[in-house]
Chains A and B, each alone.
Chain A
Amino acid sequence: MSQSLNQIRAKRAGLQRPPRPTTARGPRAGLAVSLLLHAALIGATYFTWSRMLDASPESHSVPVDLITITEKTNVAAMAPPPPPTPPKIEAPQPTVEAPPLPQFQQVEPAPEPPLPKFKIKPEKVEEPKKPAQPTQKQTSQDFAALLNKLAATPKTPPNAKVGPRVVQGIGDANAMTADLADALKSQIYHCWSPPVGAPNAADLVVDFDLALNPDGTAGRVTSDAMSSGNPYTRAAAEAARRAIFQCQPYKLPQDRYSQWREINPLRFDPRQMMNQ
């Protein structure tokens, strides 16, 4: 009994006083944890501050602050300057003579001065290989007829691979360059002030073939519309060309120059602006 009681006491004592950890290892582990935590804290602080101090990387976001036409073009509306003292006109003029009508002679325009050589060395750009295009537009009916025909001729052409042929790259390319198109648009739109007074808005849609130099300046800038017989179209083309030159150089990612050195067509279409 006493033995068992002693055993119980011993057990209790054991419970009450668990074996103390050895003092030799304790401080080392604590120091390591402490160092680790401090390092983490300093690291986190450094990381946060460095992020805050760094300028945000250049991005080519599409602008969202599109300016409405009214705000920018209502020039001097409703704010006429104070009227100058109106010219005093002598009271009753019983007989009034019409002002003499000037005689004009339209003489041939002055001779063209020697134009400065506008030296632009267009980048020699490889002719982009155009994707194979169907020579004729087929209606859905024609296409269905073609499918029927294919079904009716099970013979596979010699040396042709059987099975689905997935053309890769075309869709991917569009997706990859969509951001470039947006970047260019966002840089050019605020320079573009199209002549929006034409009765027929479609006359103002102009296409350009633009080659950009690696530094983002415009190299070749051509458009058939520049020599259009329609004065509205020509004016629209000239306004677009002014925009191209005025907003250059364009900031586009250097490593993707091959994707943006050739822009064709660069289309300027003001119909949305004119609500037509």
Chain B
Amino acid sequence: MRKFLLVCALFLAALAPLPAAAALQVDVTQGNAQPLPIAIPDMISADPSQAQLGANIAGVIRADLDRSGLFKSIDPRAFVEHINNINVAPTFASWRAINAQGLVAGQVTLQPDGRLKVEFRLWDVFGESQMLGQQFFTQPENWRRVAHLVSDAIYERITGEKGYFDTRIVFISESGPALKRIKRLAVMDEDGANPIFLTRGDYLVLTPRFNPTAQMIAYMSYIATKPHVYLFDLETGRQEELGNFPNMTFSPRFSPDGNRVALTLENGGNSDIYVMDLRSRAVQRLTTDPAIDSAPSFSPDGRQITFESDRGGTKQIYVMNADGSGQRRISFGAGENGTPVWSPRGDLIAFTKQQGSHFTIGVMRTDGSGERMITNAYHDEGPTWAPNGRVLMFTREASNNRGSQIYSVDVTGRNELRVMTPGDASDPAWSPLIQ
């Protein structure tokens, strides 16, 4: 049988004609990574009194997308076509003429019930097709949030990953002379708008962290001379001390489900990591090493915790299971490495590297491989991830005690930008996407 098949195969092969003009095969492996040119005209409105609102919303969307470094909004003065009706396909040729690859046509309408309707369509100018169409209803005073939501939708549709514009930043606002610094807890929108102070500055506050619903903040404060971890409820404005520990507690961090807080408890010069269940208030000790173990951060699945420890002689990054088992060192690079933060995407851990007096931000894979530095300044520290794991914020201290500022940078190390804050600022923590 095999022989017969072989004979048949050879016979057919002999008969098979030579391939005629076969299709050309092309493998494009090099591109030109550039921000996507996108046209975002002011949103139109049937009611002239809403025209300014439409312009404001478009302005926030343009600023959001530009800030990401992945888009470049086109100056509206270059537009050839004026959008009059968002329910009609635009003249694509006139948008191609100004090299727009995307077009966002939007409209604002004040509803009879006083609510604001914001609708938009995202067009693929070269593909001549609609990529997205959505509408939102909200109170008119929430127009900035709607703008951020539209930005997130556009970002997600075009890049394939979730946006991060509808988020907030909690940070430490600093003022006053270097030796008598006033540090206050503050929150603002991701773009720096709507800053609000949460504490009066009577006492020192440090290391604020959001919970997964962005409604609660854990932070360390020196309220009663001894530093302790406190919780701040954004809805009620209420603060409470977390647990009743006899000694100093610091570096709190919520678990991804929001039900637990990992923190560091100092006891007679030995710092160890503990986890407190927020409902039962039960406390579990995770590390017992006589060295300093600190700065815990959960993996997004809640099963592992990364932390820093000097048990090996220098400060390095470790990973353990959420119950404290399986502790292992993952950072073996040069210098000392600390403040590890697990990416919300789960693939990377961001950290601060110290070499002499030089502090920089880096990322590594969760097994410690692939370490690369993404900033290069005199003193950068304390990274925090955007909820999509694509962008980081951190504190940059100027030399000579000239204050500190918050900066953001893409995980690739590109698009480093200063985040505008009222006065000096440090210790940012990025909220999850607001629900």
Contact = CB atoms under 8 A, between A and B. Distances in A.
Q: Do A and B come from one complex?
A: yes
Interface of A: 66-67, 69-70, 72-78, 80, 83-84, 86-89, 92-107, 109-116, 118, 126, 128-132, 146, 149, 153, 157, 160-161, 165, 167-170, 173, 177, 180-181, 184-185, 188-199, 230-236, 238, 241-243, 245-246, 258-260, 262-273
B22 interface: yes
B133 A104 contact: no
B414 A73 contact: yes
Shortest beta-carbon contacts, A-B, top 4: A235-B160, A245-B126, A86-B422, A102-B142
B240 interface: no
A70 B127 contact: no
Contacts of B12: 132
B32 A67 contact: yes
A104 to B, nearest CB: 6
B19 A89 contact: no
B179 interface: no
Interface stretch (B2-10, B321-329, B351-359): B2-10
B78 interface: no
Contact of B126 (A83, A112, A114, A246): A246
A66 B196 contact: no
Interface residues of B, number: 92
Nearest to B346: A199
Interface string B1-40: 0110011001111101111111111111111111110000
Q: Is the interface of B mostly helix, strand, loop or mixed?
A: loop
19 contacts: A69-B414, A89-B422, A103-B139, A115-B130, A160-B14, A169-B19, A170-B18, A173-B19, A189-B28, A191-B32, A193-B33, A232-B160, A235-B159, A235-B160, A238-B124, A260-B24, A262-B23, A266-B25, A267-B25
A268 B23 contact: no
Contacts of A149: 2-3, 6
Contacts of A235: 157-160
B34 A72 contact: yes
B24 A177 contact: yes
A161 B127 CA distance: 54
B418 A80 contact: yes
Nearest to B21: A258
Contacts of A131: 19, 22
Interface in B338-384: 345, 347
B418 A272 contact: no
A109 B418 contact: no
A69 B422 CA distance: 34
A60 to B, nearest CB: 13
Contacts of A267: 25-28
A76 B194 contact: no
B243 interface: no
Nearest to B372: A275
Given A72-B34, A109-B134, A198-B161, A129 B20 contact: yes
A169 B127 contact: no
A102 to B, nearest CB: 4
A233 B160 CA distance: 8
A130 B127 contact: no
Contact of A80 (B14, B29, B417): B417
Interface string B413-435: 01111101111000000000010
B46 interface: no
Contacts of A265: 25-26
